Structures are given as C-alpha cells and as structure tokens.
C-alpha cells in the first residue's frame, strides 16, 4: 500500500517545481522531503524523479502517479463526505482562510450567519492572502478559502483546488474632493487624468500593486509613486492627508473621510474577482454548501 503522505509530496513537487517550495508548503526541511520522495521510489520500485545537479524533475512515471494521486485524494475526500452526509445538518469545525480586506465585510458576517442557522457549526478564521490560503487548503489546515484575482493580471488557478466566483469587485479611484478628476457629476475617471499626480500604491510585488502598475501602463503612463504600503486603510489615511490618488477595490473604499470621494474608473475591466476555493472533494460537503449559500446572500 502506497503512503498517501508521500504521494502528496510528489503531487506538490509537480505543482510547485522545487523541493524547497514543497518543504515550505509543509513546514519541514528540504532534506525531509527528499528522504520521503526517495522512500516513495523504493515503495513503488519505480524511478519517479530525475536529478540534474540540484534540480529535480518528474519522470513520465512520476507524472502518471501524480495524476493518479489526485484521484486517490478525491476518493478519500468523497468517502469522508459520505460519512459527513449522514449528519442531519452541518456541524463541527469549519476552518476558513480569508484575505484581510474581506474579513470585515464577508468573513465576520458569514461566521454570524452560519453559527445562527447551524448551531453545531464552529467557524475558525485565519487571515491569509490568496497564495498562503491555497497552501493552507492543500495542507488541509483550511477547509474553505476566500481569495481574489485581479482580472488584468491573468493569475492562473492553483493546481489541486476548485474555485467559484462570488462577486466582481471593481477598482475605484479614491481622490481628494478638490482633485480635478473628482467631478461633481460622479462620472468615471480616465486613469490618464491622474498621470501627473503623485500616487499611493501597494508594493509592486503584491497583486494589488502589480495590477495598478499594469493598469497605468496600459493607460499610457507609469505612475510617480509617493507612498507605498499594503494596508488599504493606511492608503486612505495617506490620501486624505496628502491628496494623492489611490486605486483600490471598491470593497476597501468604504467609510472614507469627508475629504475623499471614490469614483469609478472608465475601464470597467479593472477589477478583482472574489472567489471561494476548496479542494475538489470538499465541494460536496454539507459545510461547504452551507458556507457557499451564506456567502451568496452576502455578495
């Protein structure tokens, strides 16, 4: 009988490319991962990996076993689903990973709604950006995740997870009311109208920062960045203090100071999708169905 934990390590190596990445994913050392993969090769009596210097690649047999591993994991999850479905209603712990700006508008009211309608259910929230949330799901430290994707970045789906779009959250320009682009009629803002202003953005290595830079370059300019920070509330405070424009998701542009206003942008393709993510086998669980139903009422 093959060791499922070792199969998962092989699956993750195929998805993430390096032993180091797999080790970080599982919170162990690279040498421990390498040892388990060697034991898997001994177990299967098959060469699953090709080693060239420090690089490791899956053989054709390794790729086939990875494909079969997904089926095995899905079957195990389905078996658990069959047991869980015997319960009259969802119960037990539900571990939810959620990105920071969705905790207040989505995760908090979701917890209240679920625990009111299903008293036996207990929601546990972990703050996590999408990449970290995906790791928690794959490690089975989370059952469900709320993630986002910026539409102008074409971020690929995470292997081994299923997602459903819950809501499209458009980007808005947060401007000082005295800014020329903050017209009283509330008409959409062309980004090039903001080309001469010093900007506040998220760091370029973050999804929000990369999306804003890409949007500005598509509009024909590179923004002059005055302040860089990743917290939307801090961006809003800086904008109120200095009058610099900010481009952020509408969900994050609530409760603005009186000096600021949020305006839609003319390119309505600039948005992020809010998605629910889970392992494929978990999407049939009663707790997932309850979570999805509650989220749809909130979005």
- What's residue 96's pLDDT? 97
Task: Output the pTM of the full model.
Answer: 0.76
pLDDT beyond 90 at 27: no
Q: What backbone torsions phi and psi does residue 218 show, to the nearest 5 degrees?
A: -65, -35
How many C-beta atoms lie closer than 10 Å to residue 85's C-beta?
Answer: 10
CA 260 to mean position of chain CA atoms: 29
SS3 85: coil
Segment holding 108, helix H or strand E: helix 108-117
Q: Could you tell me the CA-to-CA distances from 149 to 23, 110, 208, 233 in Å, in that order? A: 25, 21, 9, 20
Q: Are 194 and 257 in contact (CB under 8 A)?
A: no
The percent of residues in the chain predicted with pLDDT above 70, rounded, is 95
Q: Are 80 and 129 in contact (CB under 8 A)?
A: no
Model confidence over 172-224: pLDDT tens digits? Answer: 999 999 998 998 788 899 999 999 999 999 999 999 999 999 999 999 999 99
The percent of residues in the chain predicted with pLDDT above 90, rounded, is 60
- What's residue 77's pLDDT? 66
- What's residue 268's pLDDT? 83
pLDDT beyond 80 at 30: yes
Distance in angstroms (rounded) separating the CA atoms of residues 10 and 27: 15
- What's residue 85's pLDDT? 56
> Which of 17-31, 78-92, 134-148, 207-221 comes out lowest in average pLDDT?
78-92
Model confidence over 228-271: pLDDT tens digits? Answer: 999 999 999 999 999 999 999 999 998 899 999 999 999 988 99
- What's residue 142's pLDDT? 94
Q: Are 278 and 137 in contact (CB under 8 A)?
A: yes
Q: Could you tell me the CA-to-CA distances from 151 to 132, 156, 161, 257 in Å, in that order? A: 19, 11, 19, 28
- What's residue 79's pLDDT? 64
Q: What's the rounded mean pLDDT across residues 146-172?
A: 93
- DSSP bridge pairs for 20: none
CA 125 to mean position of chain CA atoms: 14
- What's residue 1's pLDDT? 77
> Which of 63-72, 116-125, 161-170, 214-223 comes out lowest in average pLDDT?
63-72
Q: Could you tell me the CA-to-CA distances from 113 to 80, 117, 143 in Å, in that order? A: 25, 6, 18
- What's residue 83's pLDDT? 61
SS3 265: strand
pLDDT beyond 70 at 93: yes
Q: What backbone torsions phi and psi does residue 247 show, to the nearest 5 degrees?
A: -115, 110
Average pLDDT, the chain: 90
pLDDT beyond 60 at 87: no
């Amino acid at each position: 009988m093959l060791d499922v934990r070792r199969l998962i390590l092989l699956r993750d190596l195929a998805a993430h490319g390096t032993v180091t990445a797999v080790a970080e994913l599982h919170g162990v050392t690279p040498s421990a991962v390498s040892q388990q993969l060697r034991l898997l090769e001994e177990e299967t009596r098959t060469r699953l990996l090709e080693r060239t210097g420090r690089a490791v690649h899956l053989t054709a047999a390794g790729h086939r076993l990875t494909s079969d591993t997904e089926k095995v994991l899905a079957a195990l999850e389905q078996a658990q689903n069959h047991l869980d479905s015997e319960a009259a209603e969802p119960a037990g712990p539900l571990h939810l990973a959620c990105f920071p700006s969705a905790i207040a508008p989505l995760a908090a009211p979701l917890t209240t709604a679920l625990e009111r309608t299903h008293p036996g259910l207990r929601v546990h929230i972990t703050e996590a950006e999408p990449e970290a949330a995906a790791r928690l799901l794959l490690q089975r430290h989370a059952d469900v995740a709320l993630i986002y994707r910026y539409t102008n970045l074409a971020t690929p789906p995470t292997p081994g997870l299923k997602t459903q779009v819950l809501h499209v959250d458009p980007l808005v320009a947060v401007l000082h009311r005295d800014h020329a682009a903050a017209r009283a009629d509330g008409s959409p803002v062309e980004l090039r109208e903001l080309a001469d202003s010093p900007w506040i953005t998220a760091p370029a290595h973050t999804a929000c920062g990369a999306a804003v830079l890409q949007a500005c370059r598509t509009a024909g300019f590179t923004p002059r960045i005055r302040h860089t920070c990743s917290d939307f509330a801090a961006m809003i405070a800086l904008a109120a203090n200095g009058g610099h424009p900010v481009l952020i998701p509408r969900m994050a542009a609530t409760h603005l100071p009186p000096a600021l206003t949020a305006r839609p942008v003319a390119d309505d393709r600039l948005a992020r999708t809010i998605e629910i993510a889970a392992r494929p086998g978990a999407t049939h669980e009663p707790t997932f169905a309850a979570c999805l139903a509650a989220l749809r009422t909130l979005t």
